Amino acid sequence: MPVLSDRDVRKLILEGKIVIEPLDLEEQLMPIGIDLRLGNEFRLFNTQAKGFIDPAKDGIAELTKLVRVKDGEPFIIHPNEFVLGVTKEYVKLPDDIAARIDGRSSLGRLGIVVHSTSGHVDPGFEGRLTLEISNIGRLPVALYPGMKFCSLIFEKLTSPVEKSYKEFGKYVGQREPLESKIAEEFRKKRD
């Protein structure tokens, strides 16, 4: 799939085919994508609640806590810590465009990993993007809501998908970092 250039991304945004809100196009448009900013919400894991997470069982939400950080205040992520974050921007993709979340080198040099596994955004996705943030460095790092945090790189599909994410996705329309809903997949197998 070809990666879209800045001129293609600008055109699709101005035509309303790709929606990113709020967006300062001149500030956030990069040669092959859009820089997205860190939102104010973080979902933390309560490591004292249980000895382990069982993805086949409900109750993952009870192992997490949503924290909102005010603009201008830092969220401190400690070494070996994993949290869910969210982009400030709401993203809506058409059925013939996919995207990839990519980390920024400046944050990587501090030990910050922007996404653990799920770096792709399906065609038809709509919502704020959940970020699977880790600190693999040796020192705590301050993260600030509104800071440029990751890049969204767009890819044009050869044709629109038959089954859009908006028809089956578990996280459609999300506005905050949601906990894993993997237990739904296990329930479907049992039913």
**Rounded CA gap, 178 and 118, in Å?**
14
Residue numbers annotated as active site: 132
Position of tokens 């040796």?
Answer: 138
End-to-end CA distance of the chain: give it in Å, rounded.
36
Instruction: Using alpha carbons, select from 134, 21, 30, 169 the residue that is nearest to residue 88.
Output: 21
Rg (CA), the chain: 17
Asked if the peptide bond before residue 79 counts as cis, ω within 30 degrees of 0, the response is no
CA angle 164, 18, 124 (to 5 degrees): 10
